[in-house]
Every structure is written in C-alpha cells, then in structure tokens.
Amino acid sequence: MSAQRQNGLVLIADDDPIMRLLMVETIAQLGLETLAAENGRLAVDLYQSHQPDLVLLDVEMPEMDGFEACRQIRRLETRELRSVPIIMVTGADDIDSVTLAYDAGATDFVSKPINWPVLGHRVRYVLKASDAFVGLRLADAHNRAVLAAIPDTFFRLSRDGICLNYEAGPNNHAIFSSDQCVGKHVSEVLPPEIAARLMEQVAAVLQTQQVRAVDYVLPRAGGFHHFEARLALTGANEVLGLVRDISERKQAEEQIRRLAYCDSLTGIPNRQAFLEMLERELLHAKLGAKKFAILFLDLDAFKKVNDTLGHSIGDLLLQLVSERLCETLRPRDVVSRLDSQTNLARLGGDEFTILIPDLVHVEDALHVAERIKETMSRPFQIESHEIFVTSSIGISLYPEDGQDCDSLLKYADIAMYHAKSRGKNNAQLYSASLTKQIMSHAKLEVGLRKALKNEELYLLYQPQVDVPSAAMIGVEALLRWKHPERGIILPNEFIPLAEETGLIVPIGEWVLRTACRQAKAWQRSGQAALRVAVNLSAKQFKSENLMQIVLSTLADSGLEPHLLELELTEGTLMDDANATIVTLEQLRAVGVYLSIDDFGTGYSSMNYLKRFDVRALKIDKSFINGIPQDTQNAAITQAIIAMAHGMKMAVVAEGVETASQLALLGQYGCDTVQGYYLGKPVSHASISSMLQNRLRLVRRLARQLVRT
C-alpha cells in the first residue's frame, strides 16, 4: 500500500486526545500521513477501510482494548494475505503485558511515558523493516511458484556426499522421499555404481566450479526410468543438485535413432547403419589383420512383382524376405561374431547387404551365399498369391578386392550385376576384370545416349525375295551404329544395352520414321513400292503412345499402311496376351502388315497364333542353318510352313545362305526368303540401284532359283 500513496499512512488509536495529538504531530514530522481513532473498534474499522502501512495501538481503550484490536487486525490480514507492522503503546512495562502484546500479534511495543524522538526513529525503522519483509515474502512466493512449476527434484549435498536438503518435484513418485535422503550419504540411497559416478562429478564441481551432469537409470513402477542430475556449486563447499526424469527424452532419442538407422519397412538396419558398421569393421580388420566379406544381394524380377501385383504386395514380400534372411543368418549359421540384426541391412528397394566379419576362408562367404539362394528358392505365400523369387549375389573381399568401404561396396555391387548377367539366381566373386567390363559397359551407354544426336546410327536394308516370282517385294530395316572410336558396332552388342536403359524407345521411333521415309522415297522416285519391315521391341510395343507414333509416322512419311511391316517376337506377344490382342487389332485396323519374328525360338503356341491373327511367320535362321543335311531342322521347317499355310499365313525364311537351302525352301512352298545368298544388308543407295536395274535383278534371282 505504501507504493500506492505519496507517503506512508499510519493509523493511531488512543482514547487520550492529548496523546493522539502528540502522536499525530510526531508522525507528521516524519513526512507520513495519519489516521486517528479514539478506541479499538474504530481502529479496526479504519484499518479495513484505509489499509494503513503501520498501526500504533494504545493498550487501554474503551469498547475494545488494544490487545483485542491487534488480534482482529491480524485475523483480517490472514484473509487479505497482508502483514502490517503493529506497535503497542502501553503504560505497563511488566513482562506479562509485553508477552500479551506479542501473543496478540504485535510487531513491537513502546512504554509510556513516550520518548517522542525515539518513537519517530522506531516508526521509521519498523516501516523500513516491513518493506524489506514484504519484499522477502514476494520473492519467496515467486521462488515457490517457480519451483512448483518445475517438475524437477532439488537436493543439497555436502562435499562428503551427505544429503543436507531434499525437495521432491511433482513427479516425486518416480524418485525418493525426503526421509529416504536427508542426513544420509548418497551411497545409502543410490546403487553403488551410480553413487560413485555422482561423487566423481561432485568433486569435479567443487574443483572447477562448473556445472556437471550425471545420467543414470533406476527401476520404477512400469519399468526403468532415465534420470539426469545436474550439479552446481552453491558456496560453503556445498553442491546443489537438480534431478529430472528424462525417460520421454530418451524414448524420443531412441525413436530418432531408429529412424536414422533402421529401415522403416523391414525393421532391419538401413544403408546408414550398414555404412557405419562397415567403417568399424574395416578399422577392426586393419588393426587385427583380419578379413571380411561383403555380400550384395538383389532380388531377381522383383519389379515384375510390383508391376503385376502392386507395391503393397511388393512391400510385404520385402518384409518376408528380410525375415527369412535374418533366420538364415543366425549366429549358428554364419561364422560371425555379430548377430543378424547388425550384419544384415537393406540398402533400399530390393537390395540387401550382408557383412561376414572375421572371415577365415573364402568358401565361408560362398557357403552363406548358397544358403541364401536355397532359402530364397522356397515360395512366399502372400494373401492368395504364391510368389517365387530368386536372388543374385555379388561378393567382395577385404583386403583382396579393396582397402576402403566405398570400393568394397562398389565391387560387391559389380559382382552382383555379373551374377545377373550369368543367368541370375547365382553368386559371383568380384574380380578386377569385372570392373573393366563395367567401365566398358558404362562408356558404351554414354556413347549410345549421344549416338542419335550425333547421327551415328544408320540403317541398312536386306532384300526380301518372293520365291515364285523371284522379285524383290520388300526389305528389312537393320540398325547399325558407327561409333567414332570403335567403328561399326552390330546390334547384338548395343540393342540389349538400349533395352536395359530404355533408349530402345527413342531409337526404335527413329528407326521407324527413317525406314518409312526411305520406303516412300523409293516409291516417289518411280521405283517399286517395297514393303519395309521394322522390328518392334517389347518396350515399344507396350508403350502407351505406340499407335500415336505409328499414325504420325505414316502421316509424315506418306507411306501406305500396308507397306509397313511391324515384326514382333513371340515373347513380346505372349507377355500379357489380352493387352497384346487389343494392340494388334488397333494396328490391323490401320492396315499395318504384322508378322512374328524368330518364330520357333519362343512359346510357339498354336492357340495363341490363332488369337493373334498375324499375316506372316518368319522362321528363325537357326532352323534354316544346316539344312538340307540336318534332317531334324528340315522337318521342323517343313512343319512350320505347312502349319502357317493352314492358318492362312505367309512364311518368310531368314538366313538363307546356300543354293541348296533355297531349293529345299522352294520345295516346301516357302513364300519369301532373305539371306546372304540373295542379298546382304546394304545402304538405301544400293537398294535404289537394284530397283533401277529391276529387270537385271529379277533375271539374276530367277537364275539362282532355276539353278537350285
């Protein structure tokens, strides 16, 4: 209240008007304001209405004496949470009166006759002490509020480890009670190991005067709890401790660690965890002159599972694969000082890595790979699907194959791709020659990506001859690559790479457009209208914009649809037969000529041939090779021709290289032939020259047919 007024307010209560006047004058000389009351009851009323900063009460007053007035003021203060200083003025100086005054709640007392200068000093210092007391109460209330808001437990320790004070926080059920701690040494409260660590940090705090912390775990209701005790110097060789339950923080840290080091899908270690483990193992192996192996595993045809059954089934498959691998790599099965939760990891997708530390024999790594292959060979049952997968495994060895983690992991990856190229479902050790192959492969891929832009690709055309008339009725467009460094590269080397990288789609479109433009160019020059045959890859055939590309190509080139022949392999047609039939019907509706290339090397299902309703079959050259001496091939060839004619389909024989082959094919009724005997693949200019000398060409071919 003194802070709300210009000066302090003093309430004076005395039934003697002279005494009241003298007190008022004395107090006024101190620069304080005053209120006066002639009895105790009025003094209480004035206290309630004005809230003075100090009260002077005479003991002997009518209606209510000073003792009772003091008691009532104190009761009012209890409700108002105030404590005003009260000075009792008494004519008696006996001990009983003094005791009564203090019992009633008086702060001080003065005896009559009053020494007025002393009274002034007394009032001034009582007010000053009251202000200080109020400040202390406010500070104490503030501190208590802060402590109440903090869920921590506080304690004080002597330098010897004796608990001097202990105040549990709101969650004290998780720690100790005050009776368990105060007056006892920390070793009597905490487990020995924790107590020893705590005393070490107490000594460090006393020596360095810096804050130290100790983490420890204690069993509590519901399991183990993590705690952190922070220690600070308070002076007088004492240490203040603050204890906090950090179990939730530890759980969050563990969750973060799991997110950082565990694969969220399978629960096994992820790439980061594996790389860090590999670094540790490399250091261990270098220090101990040890060996270890890395197995790089990839599931064969996993993409097909995702594409056909969906990614949810694919995810379930990866989970089952990781469980089966963990079972296979248990310590009793693997020569390892690590368990399966640390030496197996998923790098991503369908790639897994396995570390075999302390390797003694290379055969141990191969045996592990063989066990993995065996366990992967068993079918996986997911919902209503029985799924079969195999694995390709590459193996790199330390120190033989590399001296650092990156190299060893890369070489295991290279060996895995080598395993895939060897037919999949096998394991291969890394060798230096594989790196050369990979580098050559990568260099070839870079060159192929530039080949279209740099106009390094070109087409040759091989004549197709009608057997009865000996006339050239068409050509097959054959792709070649003129590499700036290696020269001519044949399709059997770069087409698989184009299919693997997806470049086959833009390359195939370029072939289609170039061949159609050239066929129309021959026609416009007044030469024969030749049908041009173009091979379609599986990726091209399944492309959503295939029809758009075909229609656009025909429109741009001006070539009639029946002069474009699209060749498809049996494998391409049999993959998703229902979708294939739809696409074939769309192409036939346009008028495009359709044929099956390399017939006899794939499925050769008569039932599907009827459904596909193509115009021609091309007998693979592997059946033509060796006839007529190879009677088995001759019988197969004759059967294919008869079957095709029975289904109203034309037959083209590829790879005709001798007169006797041509003669036999003529006897069997083959419709069209092509091969080196009739004409090698040549440039478009050479085909133009042939067409310009059409009569001479027909006569030459006729003579060949007659001779046969």
* pLDDT tens string 10-58: 999 999 999 999 999 999 898 899 999 999 999 999 999 999 999 999 9
Which residues, 6+ apart, have CB-to-CB distance to 357 below 8 Å? 281, 284, 285, 290, 292, 336, 337, 338, 343
Separation CA 425–CA 409 (nearest Å): 20
Whether 487 and 348 share a structural domain: no
Q: Do the domain assignments include residue 186?
A: yes
As a whole number, mean pLDDT of residues 457-470 equals 92
Taking residue 381's Cβ as centre, other Cβ atoms within 10 Å add up to 10
Whether 511 and 404 share a structural domain: no
Q: Do the domain assignments include residue 227?
A: yes
Q: Do the domain assignments include residue 332?
A: yes
Separation CA 51–CA 66 (nearest Å): 17
Q: Do the domain assignments include residue 437?
A: no
Q: Do the domain assignments include residue 257?
A: no
Segments forming the whole domain that contains residue 221: 150-250
Q: Which residue has the higher pLDDT, 220 or 388?
A: 388
Question: pLDDT-derived band of residue 463, with 50, 70 and 90 as boundaries?
Answer: very high
CA neighbor of 230 nearest in space, from 213, 247, 255: 213
Whether 525 and 484 share a structural domain: yes
Q: Do the domain assignments include residue 75?
A: yes
Quick check: 531 and 565 in contact, CB under 8 A?
Answer: yes
Whether 319 and 385 share a structural domain: yes
Q: Do the domain assignments include residue 435?
A: no
- Position 147 pLDDT exceeds 80: no
Whether 542 and 687 share a structural domain: yes
Helix (H) or strand (E) holding 109: strand 108-111
Whether 595 and 473 share a structural domain: yes
DSSP string covering 291-325, please?
A: -EEEEEEEEETHHHHHHHH-HHHHHHHHHHHHHHH
pLDDT confidence of residue 177:
81
Question: pLDDT-derived band of residue 543, with 50, 70 and 90 as boundaries?
Answer: confident
As a whole number, mean pLDDT of residues 85-106 equals 83
The predicted model scores a pTM of: 0.51
CA neighbor of 480 nearest in space, from 472, 469, 488: 488
Whether 511 and 633 share a structural domain: yes
Helix (H) or strand (E) holding 343: helix 340-343
- Position 338 pLDDT exceeds 60: no
Percent pLDDT > 70 in the chain is 89
Whether 304 and 339 share a structural domain: yes
Q: Which two tokens stand for residue 618?
A: 């091309």
- Position 507 pLDDT exceeds 70: yes
Quick check: 106 and 70 in contact, CB under 8 A?
Answer: yes
Tokens 């390892």 sit at which residue?
336
Whether 389 and 513 share a structural domain: no
Instruction: State pLDDT tens for residues 386-412.
Output: 999 999 999 999 998 999 999 999 999
Last residue of a domain, one of 430, 459, 479: 430
CA neighbor of 58 nearest in space, from 73, 43, 77: 43
pLDDT confidence of residue 335:
38
pLDDT confidence of residue 460:
96
Separation CA 409–CA 112 (nearest Å): 102
Whether 23 and 117 share a structural domain: yes
Q: Do the domain assignments include residue 436?
A: no
CATH assignment at residue 214: 3.30.450.20
As a whole number, mean pLDDT of residues 511-519 equals 95
Last residue of a domain, one of 193, 228, 250: 250
Whether 465 and 329 share a structural domain: no
The three-state DSSP-derived secondary structure of 67-108 is HHHHHHHHHHHHHHCCCCCEEEEECCCCHHHHHHHHHHCCCE
Count: domains in the chain: 4
CATH assignment at residue 22: 3.40.50.2300
- Position 431 pLDDT exceeds 50: yes
Whether 652 and 690 share a structural domain: yes
Last residue of a domain, one of 195, 226, 250: 250
As a whole number, mean pLDDT of residues 191-211 equals 92
